[in-house]
Amino acid sequence: HFILENFFSYKDLFKAFKIYAKFFLSFLFNYQSIKIKHKSPFYGFNKIFHPYLIDTFIGYTAIRNIIFYLSIKNLIGEIKEPSLGLYIMENQTFEIILNHLWKKKFSSEILGFPHSCVRFWDLKYFFIKPEVNKFYFPNKVCIHSKDTYEWAKYLKLSNQQILDVESIRHENVQNSKKVQVNAPPKNIIIYGDLDDTSSYNLCNIIQNISNINFFFKNHPASSFNKENIKFKNITFIDHDLDFDEIDCVITANGSTTAFKPYYSKFPFLIYLSPDFFNLSPINNLSNDVFFHDIASFEVCLNKIREIRLKNEKLHLIDKNCIRWIDVLKLNKAKHRFNFEKLGNIL
C-alpha cells in the first residue's frame, strides 16, 4: 500500500502551475460561452451552477485533479509491462485519469470493480457513455450483483466488456433459516450513518426507550463524536456482535450493512431521516421495516415478528471465489460472460 500523493514531487509543482494557468486562462476567456444563455428558460440555473463551474475549472477541485493527474502519471511511469490492471470502481475523477493514462501507455487491459451497490439514483455511475468515452472507461467491468447487472445492461455493455465475479463484501453472508429472537427485542445493535446528523437524530429518537439495550457501532468513515451522547440505554462499541447476542439490527439509510440480516432472515429496521430520500440498497422491503420517529419506531417493533421478506439472491456469493481466480489468472478461455445466463442465476 502507498499514498498516491507520494508520487507528486517538488518538480511537479511547476508542471501543476503551468496546467492550472492554462485552465485559468481558458476559463477566463470561455466563461460566457459555457453559461446558459439569457434567452433560455433555464437561465436562472446559472446561479446554482456558478460555484460549481468556479470550483471545477479554477477552484479546489481543479487543483486536486491536477495533482491526481501528475501523481498517477508518475505512478504509471514506474510500472513495467503489467499483465492486468484492476481498481475499485466508483467513477471518481482519479479513476477517469487512471483509465486514460493506462490505455495511453499499456496494451494490457484494465478492469473496474464496482464493489458496492450501484443505485439508480447515483448519477456518477451513469454520466460516462462507454461507447463514446472508451478511453476514460475500463476495458471490462466486474459485476457481482443484481444491481451491477442492471447497471451493465443500462450502459449497453457487451458480453466482451463484462466479467462476472463473486461479491467479496458479502462472501460471509448466506441464506439461512430465520433465527428465533425475543419479541419485542431486548438487545439491538445500531450501525451508524456516514452522515453524523443522521446518527445524532437516531440517538435522540431512542434515548427515552428504557426497556431496550442499544449497542451503537459507529461508521468507520464518520467523525461522529460519541462523547456528546450521554444516554444510559446506549452503549458504544468498536466490535461487531453475533446474532445470538442481539434481537434486532438497525441500519442507517443507504447502508449496505442491511444485507447481512437480510440474507440471514434476521430482524432488522432501517432509520429514514425525515429530510432525506429512501436510499436503501434493497428494493423489495416492506414499509414496516422503515421508521423516522419514535412513533413509527414503536410500530415497527410491534410488527417485527410479522415482517416477511422475499430474501432474493442479490449477489453472486461463493467463498471459493472461483470466478475471481479465473480473472486474476487471466484464464480467458474459461471466463466468458453471458447476460442471459447470469440473469437466470440472480
Cα 310 from Cα 285, distance rounded (Å): 8
Is pLDDT at 137 greater than 90 in this prediction?
A: yes
Q: What is the mean pLDDT of residues 64-93?
A: 93
Which segment of 23-32, 149-158, 161-170, 274-283 scores lowest on mean pLDDT?
274-283
Cα 177 from Cα 14, distance rounded (Å): 62
User: Do 134 and 156 form a contact (C-beta atoms < 8 A)?
Assistant: no
Cα 206 from Cα 58, distance rounded (Å): 45
Q: What is the mean pLDDT of residues 31-41?
A: 83
pLDDT band at 33; cut points 50, 70, 90: confident
Q: Within 13 Å and on the Cβ side, how many CA atoms surround 262?
A: 22
Predicted local confidence at residue 47, as pLDDT: 85
Q: What is the mean pLDDT of residues 119-145?
A: 89
Predicted local confidence at residue 243, as pLDDT: 86
Percentage of residues in the chain with pLDDT exceeding 90? 33
Length of the chain, please? 346
Please report the DSSP string for 225-275 in residue order. Answer: -GGG---TTEEEESS---GGG-SEEEEETT-GGGHHHHHHT--EEEE--TT
Q: Which residue type, as a one-letter code, is found at position 42? A: F
Cell output for 186: 431486548
Q: What is the mean pLDDT of residues 160-178?
A: 76
Q: CA gyration radius for the chain? A: 24
Cα 36 from Cα 319, distance rounded (Å): 52
Is pLDDT at 122 greater than 60 in this prediction?
A: yes
pLDDT band at 132; cut points 50, 70, 90: confident
Cα 181 from Cα 187, distance rounded (Å): 10
Highest mean pLDDT pick, 12-26, 44-58, 281-295 = 12-26
* Closest to 65 measured CA to CA, from 107, 108, 41, 97: 97
Which segment of 3-7, 58-62, 124-128 scores lowest on mean pLDDT?
3-7
- Between the two ends of the chain, the Cα-to-Cα distance in Å is 34
**Residue with the three cell numbers 422503515:** 290
Percentage of residues in the chain with pLDDT exceeding 70? 90
**Residue with the three cell numbers 453472486:** 316
Is pLDDT at 30 greater than 90 in this prediction?
A: no
Q: What is the mean pLDDT of residues 94-123?
A: 91
Predicted local confidence at residue 333, as pLDDT: 45
Q: Give residue-wise pLDDT tens across range 187-229.
A: 999 998 888 888 888 888 888 888 889 999 988 888 877 777 7
Q: What is the mean pLDDT of residues 6-27?
A: 92
Is pLDDT at 99 greater than 90 in this prediction?
A: yes
pLDDT band at 286; cut points 50, 70, 90: confident
Is pLDDT at 274 greater than 90 in this prediction?
A: no
Run of H or E including 218: none
Residue bearing the bigger pLDDT, 44 or 67: 67
Rounded to the nearest integer, the mean pLDDT of the chain is: 85
Note if the pTM is more than 0.85.
Answer: no
Please report the DSSP string for 42-106 in residue order. Answer: TGGGHHHHHHHHHHHHTSHHHHHHHHHHHHHHHHHHH--S-S-EEEE-S--HHHHHHHHHHHHH-
Predicted local confidence at residue 215, as pLDDT: 93
